[in-house]
Amino acid sequence: MKVLVPVKRVVDYNVKVRVKSDNTGVDIANVKMSMNPFDEIAVEEAVRLKEKGLVTEVIAVSCGVAQCQETLRTAMAIGADRAILVETDVELQPLAVAKLLKALVDKEQPQLVILGKQAIDDDANQTGQMLAALADLPQATNASKVELAADKVNVTREIDGGLETLALSLPAVITTDLRLNEPRYVTLPNIMKAKKKQLDTVKPEDLGVDVAPRLKTLKVSEPAKRGAGVKVADVAALVEKLKNEAKVI
């Protein structure tokens, strides 16, 4: 059974992003880039399924600039068997990525696609859902537990008020939540091994996909600075402030 794991190269989660002075976007020049944290969880889950003997091949895929190769090497150091880079300098939006992934699903015929629930740069939370719709596959988002069998997968999701478990027939699309697993540390020997693994590069044109942006960003600006907090003497003073100053009750 093949598993496809899309991994996105994003600004590292420890970096405090700076908005460009012309308000057109976020400055990513000379900024540390890493694999999207939810995608690390997705790779870890796929590798664990392989280690359990349920999966035979884990394929990592990244769409974007040539440097996404580094992200793919990290995925292979965690344990992915090979990787595909869909290389383009065009700024990719979720619909374009979903179309590229759909083309790869048609080509590779994986039984499972495990994505992150969202990318921490655009916070879109759309690609997995769009892929499931385009490929006409069942989907389970925000997985906190994945139990795979030969022809189906049970996915537990944390929802308001408890846990929901969905049974999906394969092939299927899953997106990962934070508590699914804790990704392993990547060891030096595995980084060295990953350098020798197969990494193929294709272009969106090779997959017959038009990746032109459909959405236009009008403006990106810093959030308003938060004021300092104040201590209130008692509950009555708090209620008075909430009513008359904050005007929230």
Crossing angle for the helix pair 68-78 and 37-51, to the nearest 10 degrees: 30
Task: Answer for the pair 133, 23: CB distance below 8 angstroms, yes or no.
Answer: no
Q: In the set 75, 97, 103, 113, which binds ligand AMP (CB under 6 A)?
A: 97
> What ranges make up the beta strands (E) of 65-151?
82-87, 112-116, 139-148
The CA distances from residue 52 to 47, 48, 137, 149, 237, in Å, are: 9, 6, 24, 11, 59
* The two structure tokens encoding residue 58: 């884990």
Which amino acid appears at position 52 of this protein?
K
Site string for ligand AMP, 54-83 (x = CB under 6 A): --------xxx-------------------
| Residue number, 126 or 201, with CB nearest to ligand AMP | 126
| Residue number, 128 or 183, with CB nearest to ligand AMP | 128
**Minimum gap (Å) between residue 82 Cβ and ligand AMP:** 15
User: CA 1 to CA 112: how far, in whole Å?
Assistant: 8
**Minimum gap (Å) between residue 235 Cβ and ligand AMP:** 41
How many residues touch ligand AMP under the rule CB under 6 A: the total is 22
- 127 near ligand AMP, judged by CB under 6 A: yes
Q: In the set 12, 57, 108, 122, which binds ligand AMP (CB under 6 A)?
A: 122
- 142 near ligand AMP, judged by CB under 6 A: no
- State the Rg of the chain over Cα: 21
Binding site for ligand AMP (CB under 6 A): 6-8, 36, 38-39, 62-64, 92, 94, 97, 115-116, 118-119, 122, 124-128
